[in-house]
Amino acid sequence: MKSFDFHRPQSLADAVNLLRGNEAAKLLAGGQSLLPVLKLDLAQPSDLISLAGVPGLREIRGGDPLDGSLTIGALVTHDEVANSSEVRRWIPALADLAGGIGDAQIRNRGTLGGSLAHADPAADYPAAALALGATIETDRRKIAAGDFFVGFFTSALEPDEIITAVHFPVPEKAAYAKFPHPASKYAIVGVMVAKSAGGVRVAVTGAGSKVFRVPALETALAGSFSPDAVSAGSVAPDDLRSSGEASGEYLAHLITVMARRAVEACG
Structural domains of the chain ordered from first start: 5-41+58-168 (3.30.465.10), 173-266 (3.30.390.50)
Please determine, for residue 174, whether its predicted confidence score (pLDDT) is greater than 90. yes
Q: What's the confidence (pLDDT) of residue 36?
A: 84
The pLDDT of 191-207, averaged and rounded, is 97
The pLDDT of 123-152, averaged and rounded, is 98
Q: How, if at all, do strands 135-138 and 70-73 pair?
A: unpaired
Q: What's the confidence (pLDDT) of residue 204?
A: 98
* Nearest alpha-carbon partner for 190 in 266, 123, 112: 123
Q: What's the confidence (pLDDT) of residue 43?
A: 81
The pLDDT of 219-244, averaged and rounded, is 89
The pLDDT of 184-189, averaged and rounded, is 93
Rounded distance between C-alpha atoms, residue 194 and residue 171, angstroms:
6
* Nearest alpha-carbon partner for 237 in 255, 220, 261: 255
The band of 148, judged by pLDDT with boundaries at 50, 70 and 90, is: very high
The pLDDT of 66-81, averaged and rounded, is 94
Helix axes 125-132, 92-99, angle to 10 degrees: 160
Return the percentage of the chain with pLDDT > 90, whole number: 84
